[in-house]
Structure 1
C-alpha cells in the first residue's frame, strides 16, 4: 500500500534524534516544510495525496514519529512534547535552522508543541484537525478510547504499518501507546497557545472529529492566527487515506490554500 503513485523523494534515511532512530523522506527543493502525520499513521497514509503537489514549490520533509512506521521506539510512553523535541533534534541533524510545519491530527498537536517549545526553529504552522483541549471532542470519544482495541484501528493503518515497520510485530505496542496517550490527554493551556509566535493557520473539517467550536477557540487564542473550516470529515480536505472516495479530489483546494498561507 502506498498512497502516492510513485516514490518521488530525492533522499530518505534515518537519523538518531534524542536516542531515537527516526525515519524521514525529503522531496523537492526550496523553503522547508515538515509534515507530521496523525496517530497510528505513516507519512504516506496522511500526506501521500498532497506530497507531489507540495514538492513542486518547496522542500518537503516527511517524518515518522516514535513507534510509528519506519521509526524506532523507546521503552517509554509517547507524548506530544517528546515528539516535538524529537522533530527539533531531527531538523538540527539535517542542518535545517528554520522550517514551516504542517501537522495533521495528532501531528497537528505535535506541531503546536513544536511552536511552543522550539519557537526559534518554526516559521509557520498549519495545525490541521489538531486537538488542544479535551472539550474539543464530544465526550463519547473519550469513552471509546478507554475501550479501544487493535480491532478498532482502520485496516489501512494496519496494512501501512505492517508494510514498512522495522518490526511489524510491534503493531500492538504502537496501538496501545497511541490509545494511552489519548486517554491521558492533557489540555494545552491558554497561556501556552497565546505564547505561539509563529504565524498559524488552523484547519478543520466541518464534520471533523474535533468540533468547529474548538477550532474557533484555538484561532482566538493563538495570536494573529487564521482559520479555515472546510466541508468534510477528518482529513478529507487533503485526501487522508481513510477518507478516499472514487473521484474525490478535495486536496486540489487544500494545497493552493496552504501554499498561499506559506508564501505570504
Structure 2
C-alpha cells in the first residue's frame, strides 16, 4: 500500500465547485444531441456502451447529491454518543485523506459497473442530467466543504470529495470523446487542472523521492522516485507530457511505451522511466 505522508495540496473551494458544475454542464450539453446509434456505440471501458458511460458521468455528480442528503439525514438521527464502529460519520470517524483516494477505488469497479447498468436502464441520459443538475443546484451551495460525508470509499470531507469529482468528470469526458468521433466535449480549465494535479501528487505518494521531476505544463510539477536529490540547475531525470496524456497514463487509458512511441512523452535520465509505476488508478 503506498505511503500517504505527502502534504496535501490545497485547492480553492470556489474554483473547484465551479469546475465541477462547469464540466458537468459541458457533458450535459453534448449528451442532449446524442442519437440512439451513438448511445449504442462501444467504449474502451469493458462492455460499457456510450449510454452507460454517459450514465456514469451523471452518477459522478449525483453521488455528491446523495452523500449530502445522507449526511444531513444522519446528522439529525445521530445520538450524542454514537459508537465509533458505526458507519455514521462522527468526530471520531477516520476521514480518508484526499491523496489516498486514487489508491482505494479499484476494488469498487464491480459494484460501480452493476449500478451504472441499472441506472442506464432506468432513465434516459437527458432525464439523468436534468434531475442531477436541479438537485446539485439546490444542495451544494448550502453545504460547507468541511462537512464529513459517507462515500463508497469511506468518510471524506465534502471539499476533498469534490476534487475527486473533477477526476471522474475529466477522465470520463476523455473516454466519451474517444468513443464518439467528432463529439469534442470541452474540458473546463479548472477541472482539468485539478484532475492533473491530484494524479500528479498521487504519483509522488506512490514513488516518494526527489530524483525525478515530472512536468505537466501548465498545471503541475512534482518530484518523485528515490535517488540523489536534485537541488539546482536542470534535473538529471525529467519527464514531461501534456495534461490529457498524463491523465490517460495515470488511469491506464494508454501505456508508457505507447506514449513514448507516439512522442506524447519526453523522458531523459536513468530514473525517468515511469512505466513500472503506472497506472495509478483505473
**Does TM, normalized by the shorter one, top 0.5?**
no
Q: Comparing both chains, which one has the higher relative contact order based on Cα–Cα distances under 8 Å and sequence gaps of 6 or more?
A: 2
TM-score, normalised relative to structure 1 = 0.26
More helix by share: 2
Bigger CA radius of gyration? 2
TM-score, normalised relative to structure 2 = 0.25
